Amino acid sequence: MTPEQAVQVLDALLDETMAAIRPRLRYWDGWPRSVEQTAGPDDRSLGYAIATRDRYIMTKIAPTKHGALLGITERGWQARGYTITSVNPRQPAMFATTGAGHGVCVLFGAAGNITFQAAVGPIPVIRDRDPFGTYIPEPTLANGNLDIIPRCDDPFWSC
């Protein structure tokens, strides 16, 4: 799969995930990343990379609604034939695999941030440039960290 095709699949996976969630959540998409896959004690390249993209939720989700969001997400994934592969109830997270072998997950951060992530591959290893084009800077806080702290209130999700 080319990097361009990977971005299309990543966006489709994230869009499909979000389509099941009502009321809709506000978000922004992180820049796609590719991670070269390695093996062995010498980290020998396997000759391909995995592409990922994060979708950062900017709607404030009350802790009492975390279970609802997980449940809606799980039902949406299962309706699409995805297999839930792992759930972490302590620091909420849920991971699934699509029928095509792609990965999706939802991760709950300590600061109230929630991230959906999709992963696809293989894509070619490209070392001399960003495989996804000219990098578009992502929103950052004054300290340089990504701005992933939710700030948007919602009458359902934030209460």
pLDDT digits (tens, 9 = 90+) for 86-111: 999 888 999 999 999 999 999 999 88
Tally of residues, the chain: 159
18 is a domain residue: yes
DSSP annotation of 134 reads S
Q: Is residue 95 part of a domain?
A: yes
What domain range is 60 assigned to?
3-38+45-123
Kindly give, in sequence order, each residue whose CB lies less than 8 Å from that of residue 126, ignoring residues fewer than 6 positions away: 3, 34, 49
Number of separate domains in the chain? 1
Residue 32, in any domain of the structure: yes
Mutual angle of helices 66-79 and 3-19, in 10-degree steps: 120
**Is 149 inside any structural domain?**
no
Q: What is the pTM of this model?
A: 0.95
Task: Give yes or no for a contact between 156 and 64, defined as CB atoms under 8 angstroms apart.
Answer: no
Kindly report the CATH number assigned to the domain that includes residue 28: 3.30.160
% of the chain exceeding 90 in pLDDT: 97
Angle at 101 between CA 100 and CA 104, to 5 degrees: 110
Note whether residue 68 is domain-resident: yes
